[in-house]
Structure formats: structure tokens, C-alpha cells
Amino acid sequence: MGREPRRAPTIADVARLAGVSTGAVSYAMNGRPGVSDRTRERIRRAAAELGWEPSSNARALMRQRVQAVGLVLAATHLLDGNDFFAPFVTGVEQALSAREYALLLRAVGSGQDAEVRAYQRMWQQHQVDGVLVADVREPDPRLRFLAETGMPAVVVDRLDPAAGFLTLDSNHAAGVARAVRHLVGLGHRRIAFVGGPAVLRHVADRRAAWQETLAGAGLPPGPAVHDDATELGGARATRAVLAATPRPTAVVYASDLMAIAGLGALRDAGLRVPADVSVVGFDDVRLAAHLTPPLTTVRVDYVRLGRDCAELLLATLLDTPRPSPEPISAELVVRGSTAPPP
């Protein structure tokens, strides 16, 4: 009997031999950033051993640009008053329009599967050259999809460099630490934390900064409550915090939206801010300075963050020197909602 013809090697074979994802193979073989030099060399050795190389058609397709960048958001972010995305998208648009690139924005239903499907359509239908990814979760199937496909991306978060993604973020955890030190300096010893879903990395990072700063001051953590990052969630979480014994004398919120709802919940409980309970928010929305009392909060330049993320992605797509933007600071803005404890 004749010997069966040998099957042509595939990108999956190379990935298996090199012990990496197919996305890493795509990055390495097409000279794109996202893998270390050591990993790139291991992948190339595996490809040479198997006799595999990217097809000319695939390379040609990769060189074609549609001059668009994608961003997928859960529709709830556009409806629940999220304080991050409007200024972030403004900064993204500033950078893209300067290079005559467009932003393809997709609002999808809740659930990470819907977001993954939206990114898949963008990539498979060649609607975008690359994407931005925000609101990273643990775990996050979007990152797995990006790694497997080699889709050019900038992730708005602080990830382990071994993950192979270009990332950029603000020093938001440092802003929370400043807020906690401010409260400790005023004399507070029972400081609570209220945040959105703990599965969100930025919320988990802010909670960790709250807890670590308290520990550094020799104080135990007060109660920590997570709920929906909405007005209703902020009010519910505040009521839960007030039920703790002893009751906290200060609350650090992971967003201004939740903090503003918390102010109402505190008033409903017959408590005065800041005479009975001090409140610190995060985001410094325009309304924050006009509340009664004006809200002490952490300010981050999200417009600049969006602009820097877009410029980093554009440099990757256009194969130009990548910028090295300075970390975006998180500034504590002290107003009337914080005071010494009763």
C-alpha cells in the first residue's frame, strides 16, 4: 500500500511544539510586538523544524489597513452613568482623528461572551486594524481570544508582562492610597470600602490599595462591600456598611457614582456628612464639586489615558516608534465631605 501523504504543518502545530498560543506564533512570525525575544526565537525554531511559515496571502491581508480601531462596551456602561468611558473615548478620538483613523464603537448586551463575539466579528470581517480593551476581569475570555488570534490590542490595565499584551493604565490604586492616608491623618480608625463587582481588576486593585494602606498605618480593614457599580448598588452597599459594628466613621468609594448614592443613603439614615461620616469618591465628575457637601474625590485624567492608549496602538499598527507615556497620576481633591471623626 502507498504511504499516506504527509499533512502540511499548521500554526497550531507550531504553537504546540513551542508551548505557546497561536496568537503568540502570529506575533512572532510577523515581527510584531507582544512576545519576548526568547519566546520569539523558540517559536521561530519550532516553525523551522516543522517547515511552516505564514502564507503570502495571510501576510498580504495583515498589511491591508482599514484605518479603524475597535472598542466594545457593555450597553449598561452607556446607560448607568459610568464616569470613565465618556472622557476615555474623547481622548481616543483625539488621537485617532489626528491620524485619520476612525473609532468603531460597539455597545453589546451584558456578559463577556457578547463582548468576545463583537471582537470576533470585528476581526473576522476585517472591520478594524486593532482594538482597545477596558474593564478587564478575572478571568477574561477577551484576553484569551486576543492571544489566540494575535489581534493587535492595547489593554487598559496593569497586566503581567508575561501575558504578552501592550498595556497602559493610570496610577488609580495610588489615588486610593492617598485617600486612605488623608482619612487616617484626620484621625479616622474605622474606614470602610464600597466598590463595584470584585471581578473587575480595577475594583480589586482599589480595594487592595485601601487594605494595604490601612495595614501600613497599623489599622485593621473596615467592612468592604461590593455591589453593582450604579446608584442603586452604591446605596445598597452603603446601607450594608452602616450595619457593621462598630460603625465606620469614613467610607472610601471606588467611584463617584456610588459615592453620590451613598450620600443619599447616609442622609436617609440620619447621619451628617462629614460630621458623622466622611466620604471619599473616585473619578471627580463635574457634579462632585457642586454637591452638598462638595465631594472629596480622586481625579484621573481619563481623556489623556484614552489619548495615550490610542497613540500606543497606532504606533504598533503603523510600525512607528512606540511612545513611552508617563504614568497618569491620580490626584486627591480634598473638599467638604471629609473631616475629623466625631
CA-derived radius of gyration, the chain: 24
The reply to whether the predicted model has a pTM over 0.85 is no
List the one residue out of 138, 128, 22 whose CA is nearest residue 72.
Answer: 128
Using CB atoms within 10 Å of the CB of residue 104, give its burial: 0 to 12 exposed, 13 to 18 middle, 19+ buried. Answer: middle
At residue 294, does pLDDT exceed 80?
Answer: yes
What architecture is the 172-300 domain classified under in CATH? 3-Layer(aba) Sandwich (3.40)
Assign a CATH topology to domain 66-169+302-327.
Answer: Rossmann fold (3.40.50)
Is residue 181 within 8 A of residue 204, CB to CB? The reply is no
At residue 151, does pLDDT exceed 50?
Answer: yes
**Fold agreement between 66-169+302-327 and 172-300:** yes
Q: Where do the structural domains in the chain lie, given as residue ranges?
A: 11-62, 66-169+302-327, 172-300
Which is the CATH superfamily of the domain at 11-62? lambda repressor-like DNA-binding domains (1.10.260.40)
Average pLDDT on 82-108 reads 91
Average pLDDT on 183-193 reads 98
Question: In this predicted model, which residue has the larger pLDDT, 75 or 258?
Answer: 258
At residue 301, does pLDDT exceed 50?
Answer: yes
At residue 295, does pLDDT exceed 70?
Answer: yes
At residue 56, does pLDDT exceed 70?
Answer: no
Contact residues for 206 (Cβ-Cβ < 8 A; gap 6+): 172, 173, 176, 193, 195, 254, 282
List, in sequence order, every residue forming a beta bridge with 225; answer none if it has no partner: 194
Is residue 44 within 8 A of residue 28, CB to CB? The reply is yes
pLDDT recorded at residue 202: 93
Specify the amino acid at residue 114: A
